Structure 1
């Protein structure tokens, strides 16, 4: 019989081990074939609802001529989505036991996601983020129970530093949730600077907690988890653009106006996928310092990827006369997030594998050119798509040339 404290891969569905409550011991960082579990994939899928709600409200706010309100609300809600997802993913990479208690606690976190999503329209429209805050707190406190389980197992195994790390996470996350409840539940929405202060406090918890001992997250698993969420937000962009075009077609809008937006949007999304997965980033994640910078930087990657879909929907609405904004503003709704995506993917991924000035400049220059496309009028989305496609072609050519 194996030692119950020895890290091992989760048992498969239906296995007797799944029915038991086991010790939450760290998994090996060098474990082979470490892949996302069905529970993690289900967890990601449920986040699609919240991402769709945030993107949909951004479309309405910008389309109605309130871009400032829309962008602030979108970033606020997306922070809650991203941070809860990220904390779960890193914890699961280190401590996934896949027993009954772990599964139930994860399902509770999913309930929190759905509560958060239900509160998004009220937060955008009325500035009342109380329901969103409740959903967020449910997700975060469920994670606290996971950290307490990890601390208890570490104590039983005599792992003093590991226990200190787990308890630091549990205490830090709990203190932050108390702050959110005090500021959001009674009043609905705090000033922006207060929200920013609490967000910084949340992001400070992992670096402070891992000073005792780093958790045993798995580089390949983490890279896969982030890649899967990138696919989810890009897929949401395709879905949002499809719905927008379908609505325009149903209203018998001009095909000449819609085709350039649809073609350019597809080129942007296809290029975004290609560029993100062009290099194997897991080899770069060799330490906590590198991993924290890379993981936190993905806030810009995820928000921009999801905003591309919202921008395409705004562009369609403007082209059909349903949005109270100018052509240039509608174009910027697509070009700005597209440029941010290109630049941040270069900053986080590509620059670590590029050799020579020409390779290093491809994506930053492409980001600038996409921004320039904003002033090209009604065909800005198409021109942006062509620039993104050209960036892929140039990158492939450079790689082929370098490998000779």
Structure 2
């Protein structure tokens, strides 16, 4: 349903939408869904920032990646389902609200997960979101006869994995991480199996998916904007280390601007040419999203270091920014540049990623990283656009 169409009634048949639908854009409900997920993302990024600042880097990183998977996977499954089956009727809206409620329960459990390894709150919130998706898939299977097998595999697969997530809470603590990794693989396999069902894959819309991922990337980058704002506020409030904090704030904003530019410089729609390509592209965004949000946490760590509130070295503080920026660059290169770009751009991204990792060993690492990203944007503009886009030229 486009934004210009009238909303449907209480319950309408959930038939597959056309993959070639004209003017397919994100709906107000999808935007509201994303906005509510900001709470969960912020709850995950904040303890990451504090753990790194206190020197608990390994614990903070592991907890962050585990929590972020739950946030990303629930968001991703809703996004792809909505691209194929959004009816915008009353039942669909209420079911989506249940998913949002689950996201808020998950967010409330993040603190316990980081502090004591208690994943009860996160698991309950996650299961609420996923079981709401089961209800959606059952509706789709009832109305879409051609893809009924696909919908049922999704519904059964998701249900079985949620039972395993709840069972995991009963396992000994030493099994927590291995069992988590096994269940992650199970979650990732459900779409792979379902999309190969005899009735054919779901009819997700390439332009809509690219737009939805772009909007969520913006939300993740907003964490870094918030961190830069905190740096400026801290400088004004304390009157200490003003020059250092202003430099971090300005460099942080430049980093965010450059990361935005590099992601959105080319349309991703042309990359989503098949189910396999879509899955690889969609799954790979876990690292882009997680890195974008973690970059904000890294800037906050650098602010703590400059104000003498962090119990880490300057190199570690620099790496709190450098590592997520490097991961972001590598996966933007893998997903957006390598598939369709020739010439210097194939080497520019990896080269800058390596230099970013070296920046913490020098003075003013955040400023250096910002400078490197500006240089990459310049190369992207000059050399990247001069080289024909293989996908666009083939259309």
| Structure 2 length-normalised TM | 0.94
- Of 90, 95, 98, the residue aligned with 2:88 is 98
Q: Matched residues in 2 for 1:397 and 1:164: separation?
A: 49
Q: Which residue of 2 aligns with 1:208?
A: 193
Runs ≥4 residues deviating over 4 A: 10-13, 185-190
- With over 3 angstroms needed to count, the CA separation of the structure-2 counterparts of 1:180 and 1:248, relative to structure 1, is farther
Report deviation, 1:264. 1.6
Alignment of 1:53-68 (within 5 A): 53-68=43-58
- With over 3 angstroms needed to count, the CA separation of the structure-2 counterparts of 1:349 and 1:11, relative to structure 1, is closer
Report deviation, 1:252. 2.4
Q: Matched residues in 2 for 1:56 and 1:236: separation?
A: 10
SS at match of 1:371: helix
SS at match of 1:191: helix
- With over 3 angstroms needed to count, the CA separation of the structure-2 counterparts of 1:29 and 1:388, relative to structure 1, is same
1:3-35 deviation digits (Å, cap 9, x = unpaired): xxxxxx26768x4x5333100000000001100
Report deviation, 1:78. 0.3
**8 Å Cα contact 2:287/2:328 also seen in 1:** yes
Q: Which residue of 2 aligns with 1:386?
A: 371
Deviates more, 1:145-154 or 1:346-355: 346-355
Q: Which residue of 1 aligns with 2:391?
A: none
**8 Å Cα contact 1:144/1:173 also seen in 2:** yes
Q: Which residue of 2 aligns with 1:32?
A: 22
Report deviation, 1:250. 1.6
1:164-205 deviation digits (Å, cap 9, x = unpaired): 000000000001100111112687895211101101100010
Alignment of 1:11-22 (within 5 A): 15=6, 17-22=7-12
Q: Which residue of 1 aligns with 2:287?
A: 300
Q: Which residue of 2 aligns with 1:177?
A: 162
CA RMSD of superposed structures (Å)? 1.6
Q: Which residue of 1 aligns with 2:34?
A: 44
**8 Å Cα contact 2:2/2:23 also seen in 1:** no
1:270 aligns to 2:260 (yes or no)? no
SS at match of 1:349: helix
Q: Which residue of 2 aligns with 1:148?
A: 138
- Of 360, 367, 376, the residue aligned with 2:362 is 376
| Structure 1 length-normalised TM | 0.92
1:348-400 deviation digits (Å, cap 9, x = unpaired): 002223222x22111111111111111113x0000000000110011111145
- Of 90, 108, 113, the residue aligned with 1:123 is 113
- Of 327, 348, 351, the residue aligned with 1:365 is 351
SS at match of 2:338: helix
Report deviation, 1:243. 2.1
Alignment of 1:319-358 (within 5 A): 319-356=306-343, 358=344
**8 Å Cα contact 2:11/2:90 also seen in 1:** yes
- Of 186, 190, 208, the residue aligned with 1:221 is 208
Q: Matched residues in 2 for 1:144 and 1:355: separation?
A: 43
1:240 aligns to 2:227 (yes or no)? yes
Q: Which residue of 2 aligns with 1:315?
A: 302
- With over 3 angstroms needed to count, the CA separation of the structure-2 counterparts of 1:99 and 1:188, relative to structure 1, is farther
SS at match of 1:123: helix
Deviates more, 1:361-370 or 1:40-49: 361-370
Count of aligned positions: 386
Q: Which residue of 2 aligns with 1:164?
A: 149
Report deviation, 1:401. 3.8
Q: Matched residues in 1 for 2:246 and 2:234: separation?
A: 14
| Unpaired stretches in structure 1, ≥5 consecutive residues | 1-8
| Unpaired stretches in structure 2, ≥5 consecutive residues | 389-395
1:123-171 deviation digits (Å, cap 9, x = unpaired): 10111110111000000000000000011112xxx42xx0000000000
Report deviation, 1:272. 0.3
